[in-house]
């Protein structure tokens, strides 16, 4: 058992997803061990309600277990972690929709930015040069919309639910963010 875990420790996430698709529980446990900490951080960054975060985490990994065979991976230019985050982000939007149907969206959905989050610091390290400088110069509310729509691949409606904003505001902020990015990069 120890040698199987040691061998899985050296396998990349895409291969782990492929093993999970074949029903490999040890691969699933390794995938969870590697990805759940950063996923929880990203979800908490977007939602302050621990109950919703826990539900989304559970739903996400259940979906991964059930749908690992549908992962296309590098064949379509994707990554395993990107696939996982897409599932989680959609589950988070679904959770917000369920809650919004019965009550107002949680106030923590639009937490004001006080200090840079770990995700923003990681983004700043990954996106450097002129693009990184232009991104860092954006107002926080524009950067949030751009991040949700471009980096996380959410639709206008999903971004609106996620950030607790009207769809028109999301569209306006996205247009302003793109305009400012073009101007900064010109």
- Residue whose pair of structure tokens reads 């897409």 in the numeric block: 86
Cα 96 to its chain centre, rounded Å, is: 15
CA 122 – CA 128 distance, rounded (Å): 11
The pLDDT assigned to 109 comes to: 54
The pLDDT assigned to 147 comes to: 80
Long-range interactions of 128-132: CB distance < 8 A, separation 24+: 130/184, 130/185, 131/181, 131/185
Q: What is the pLDDT along the chain (186 residues), one digit of tens a residue?
A: 455 555 677 788 899 999 999 999 999 999 999 999 999 999 998 888 899 999 999 999 999 999 998 887 777 677 888 899 999 999 999 998 887 766 554 555 555 555 555 555 555 555 556 767 777 788 888 888 888 887 777 888 888 888 888 999 999 999 998 898 888 877
CA 27 – CA 19 distance, rounded (Å): 6
CA 95 – CA 52 distance, rounded (Å): 7
Quick one: which of 83, 92, 86 has its CA closest to 152? 86
């Amino acid at each position: 058992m120890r040698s199987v875990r040691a061998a899985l420790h050296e396998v990349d996430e895409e291969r782990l997803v492929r093993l999970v698709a074949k029903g490999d529980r040890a691969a699933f446990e390794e995938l969870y061990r590697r990805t759940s900490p950063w996923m929880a951080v990203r979800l908490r960054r977007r939602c302050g309600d621990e109950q919703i975060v826990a539900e989304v985490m559970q739903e996400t990994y259940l979906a991964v277990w059930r749908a690992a065979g549908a992962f296309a991976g590098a064949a379509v230019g994707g990554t395993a972690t990107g696939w996982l985050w897409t599932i989680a982000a959609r589950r988070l939007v679904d959770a917000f929709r369920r809650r919004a149907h019965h009550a107002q969206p949680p106030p923590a959905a639009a937490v004001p930015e006080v200090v840079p989050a770990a995700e923003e610091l990681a983004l700043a390290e990954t996106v450097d040069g002129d693009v990184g400088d232009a991104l860092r110069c954006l107002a926080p509310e524009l950067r949030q919309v751009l991040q949700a729509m471009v980096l996380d691949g959410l639709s206008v409606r999903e971004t609106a639910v996620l950030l607790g904003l009207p769809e028109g505001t999301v569209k306006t902020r996205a247009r302003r963010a793109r305009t400012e990015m073009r101007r900064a990069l010109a």
